[in-house]
Structure 1
Amino acid sequence: MPDNEKVKILCVDDEKNVLHALERFFLDDDYEILTAGSGDEGLRMLVEEQPVQVVISDYRMPVMNGVDFLKEVYLRWPETIRIVLSGYADAGVIVAAINEGHIYKFIPKPWNEDELRFTVSNSLERYHLQRHNRELVAALAHYNEMLEKMVQERTADLELRNGALAIAQSMLHSLPFPVIGIDTAGMMVQGNQKAVELFREVESALLGTDCRDVLPQDVCRLLPDLAGDDVACLSWIRHGTHYDVHITPFGRYGQRGTVIMLIEKDRHTVE
């Protein structure tokens, strides 16, 4: 528990001499001892003195017995450690106290000082561990909430990017001339529908084909030397069609390569 949090122990008993004895017993301990002569008074004091780490209650009290009192304490302050201190050692009472009052320990009167001191020390350790666990659970819930939000944002971003990619692919395939993407190793990694039609003989494996297997040597020789804003334009005749070959390097978003556009110029027969 925090260094500045005072340890408070509430002792509830209708016999004043018992309360005085408990105050004397804890006199040398660094605890603040609160006392109440009834269950109702104990509940009022708990409202005023929170947080109270440990409650020690007698069982046989008028109006509200110890089990009913501790049951109410459990419902309203479940983190408080509850101890029954009673000379009425009937087994049924002990079972009721444990099940209904959710008590941590049943100590008979007259109490053994070592047992009582050990029980209170363990109770405070239990209180500390329970609160630490709650803090960890709360921190984990907060972290999971942040993570879920990040996942949702990332998912939305990916969906947006995928949508933009689909549109870009659709635009690429709608262009009326062949467009080819080539990576730095000279492999064809992109090609629109017109490119597939132009290189019909390698249609099933256009992507992944070495550009030197389908493009003229003059074009392939230029690719390694182009960089930055360099743009090259060559002429190429294929299947009787004259193309202007526009070669443009790119290097954005960590990707590098070359875009080749084949613009049909005119048609003539080559013997």
Structure 2
Amino acid sequence: MSDTERSIQVLLVDDEENILKSLQRLLMEEEFELHTASSAEQGIATLKELDNVGLIISDQRMPGMNGSEFLQYCREAVPDAPRILLTGYSDISATIDAINKGGAYRYISKPWNDAELIQTIRDAVRQYALLMENRRLNEIVRQQNEELQEWNRNLKGRVLEQTTAIRQKNEELHVLLKRVKEDYDEIIAVFSGLVEMHGGKLRQHSRNVAELSVNAARELGISGNDLETIRIAALLHDIGEIGIPERILALDRDAMNADELKQYQQHPIRGQVAIDTIEGLRAAGLFIRHHHENLDGSGFPDRLAGDEIPLGARIIAFADHIDKASETCRGDIADQALIKSGFVVGTQLDPSLQKVFRKVAPYTYFSMGAEEKELVEVELDPKELKEGMFLSRDVSSASGILLLGRGVALDVTKLAAIRRNYELDAPPHGVFVMVSR
């Protein structure tokens, strides 16, 4: 129970019985408990039994210990209780002592005015009550501050723990996403390799088209997801050929009969349909569908013309034409392939892309001109391979699954993949690479 909830005790000390009775009658209606003592010594004894003393009133002239001395004792015993001295007009020195030594709140001269005395007593008790209430509230604030500080310390700890946990989860998620991206790229590469194997292509056509397309797109300022869409579409642009008989794919279009040509011209649609169920590949599917459209509207499957053909499809079509032309080129492959492609620029291919491909094509066909004279092809055991070497031939398993294509530069990851492939399903020969003479 707090001090403000308990009854406030008031002590009256006077050696005159009639004065004590007079004060008791005067204060009998007040809201505090009144106690009396007829001497300072009795008052000290009474104080020891009381709790929550809110006011002490003492006469100055008493036998033994006088009022000033008694109030001085009370100042030490109950420092929070206001103290009032009853004194006569002639006791000025005693009054000064009561104020200076006893810390008296007020002094009241005898005889007193009842109304003034009651108001003085009420003010003193109210002052004590306010002091106790203020102390109680301060204690509550102190406790709450301690609780708040403890809560803040715990909060900091929890926040730190959660931040650490979130950081760890983010790192795990980053690793997982990286792995998913790597797996995703590997799956795309495998599909691309299957297309080449199905079509009887002994070189990395899809990857060449993808490299040409990505480099050209970068030159045009394409980046981010749009660039990735072009890369995937270029790698999978012929995926619709799977399911078409190989004898048809081996024919030139001019040599196909009507039924064979109809089957062949369905492969862009089949390619789009094959990946359309994967929402993330639908944009790439649109480029796959239209990579055989011609600028003059004579292409297939939808006979789109000019800007009706998506830019990504026009880029892939140009890259596809260059790489197919390069199959019969020798020496400066890039330059010769670009010359051959130039014959259909404006009818089949977009002329606005010609300058871009002239810039990027030489980077795809590394074995040309002077460089070709400085490099020779050698067959090495997988253990003899080193970082930085270029593959001169495709690397496939004994069962015919394409692992890496010609022209790829070897790094730590690719070296590990080749060596593992040779442990699991080794072909009857080593790995062919280009090395300096």
TM bin (shorter chain): 0.5 to 0.7
- Mapped to 2, the partners of 1:139 and 1:78 lie a distance apart of 22
Alpha-carbon distance change, 178 to 16 in structure 1, aligned in 2, over 3 angstroms:
same
| 1:135-156 CA-partner distances (Å, limit 9, x unpaired) | 2111111211111111010011
Residue aligned with 2:139, SS: helix
What is the Cα deviation at residue 15 of structure 1? 2.7
Distance 1:109 1:179 in 2: 99
Per-residue Cα deviation, 1:22-49 (whole angstroms, up to 9, x for no partner): 2233345455432112222112212223
Task: Determine which of 225, 229, 245 is the counterpart of 1:216.
Answer: 229
CA distance in 2: counterparts of 1:6 and 1:39, whole angstroms: 23
**Other structure's SS at 1:148 match:** helix
TM normalised by structure 2 equals 0.39
Read off the aligned partner of 1:122 and give its amino acid letter: D
Give deviations 1:177-226, integer Å, cap 9, x for gaps. Answer: 5788xxxxxxxxxxxxxxxxxxxxxxxxxxxxx9436643698xxxxxxx
SS in 2 for 1:9: strand
Instruction: In structure 1, give the amino acid aligned to 2:52.
Output: P
Aligned to 1:56: 57
Report the equivalent of 2:73.
Answer: 72
Aligned pair partner of 1:268 in 402, 405, 409: 405
Partner of 1:119: 120
Rounded Cα–Cα distance in structure 2 between residues aligned with 1:96 and 1:169: 77
Segments of structure 2 that go 5 or more residues without pairing to the other structure are: 182-222, 233-277, 285-362, 365-401, 409-437
Q: Is the 2:10–2:56 Cα contact (8 Å) retained in structure 1?
A: yes
Shift, 1:96, TM fit: 3.2
Q: How does 1:1-271 map to 2 (within 5 A)?
A: 5-29=6-30, 31-87=32-88, 90-168=91-169, 177=178, 211-212=224-225, 215-216=228-229, 267-269=404-406
Partners of 1:151 and 1:232 lie apart in 2 by 47
What is the distance in 1 between the residues matched to 2:171 and 2:32? 75
* 8 Å CA contact retained: 2:58, 2:86: yes
Residues 46, 177 of structure 1: alpha-carbon distance in 2 compared, 3 angstrom cutoff: same
Higher alpha-carbon deviation: 40-49 or 152-161:
40-49
Q: SS at the partner of 1:216?
A: helix
**How far, CA to CA, are the matches of 2:226 and 2:100 in structure 1?**
83
Displacement after TM superposition at 1:92 (Å): 4.5
Which whole-Å CA distance do the structure 2 matches of 1:214 and 1:66 have between them? 100
Deviations 1:91-136 (A, max 9, x none): 5433432333222211111212121011011122212211211121
Quote the Cα distance in structure 2 between the aligned partners of 1:123 and 1:76: 18
TM-score, scaled to structure 1: 0.60
Distance 1:118 1:95 in 2: 22
- Paired residue secondary structure (1:119): helix
SS at match of 2:111: coil
Q: Which residue of 2 aligns with 1:259?
A: none
**Secondary structure of 1:67's partner?**
helix
2:150 partner SS = helix
In structure 2, C-alpha distance between the alignment counterparts of 1:71 and 1:101, rounded to whole Å: 4
Letter in 2 for 1:212: N
Q: Hey, which of these two has a bigger chunk of strand by percent? A: 1
Which structure has the larger Rg over C-alpha atoms? Answer: 2
2: CA distance, partners of 1:217 / 1:61: 110
Q: For residues 179 and 89 of structure 1, what CA distance do their matches in structure 2 show?
A: 102
Q: Supply the AA of the counterpart residue of 1:268.
A: G
- Report % sequence identity: 31
Aligned with 1:54: secondary structure? Answer: strand
C-alpha change, 1:2 and 1:71, in structure 2 (3 Å) is closer
Say what the alpha-carbon RMSD is for the aligned residues.
3.9
1:218-242 Cα shifts (integer Å, max 9, x gaps):
98xxxxxxxxxxx9887x9xx99xx
Aligned equivalents of 2:29, 2:147: Cα separation in 1: 47
Paired residue for 1:226?
Answer: none
In the TM superposition, structure 1's runs of 4+ consecutive aligned residues that sit over 6 Å from their partners are 1-4, 172-176, 231-234
Gaps of 5+ in 1: 181-209, 220-230, 241-264
Partners of 1:171 and 1:268 in 2: how far apart? 32
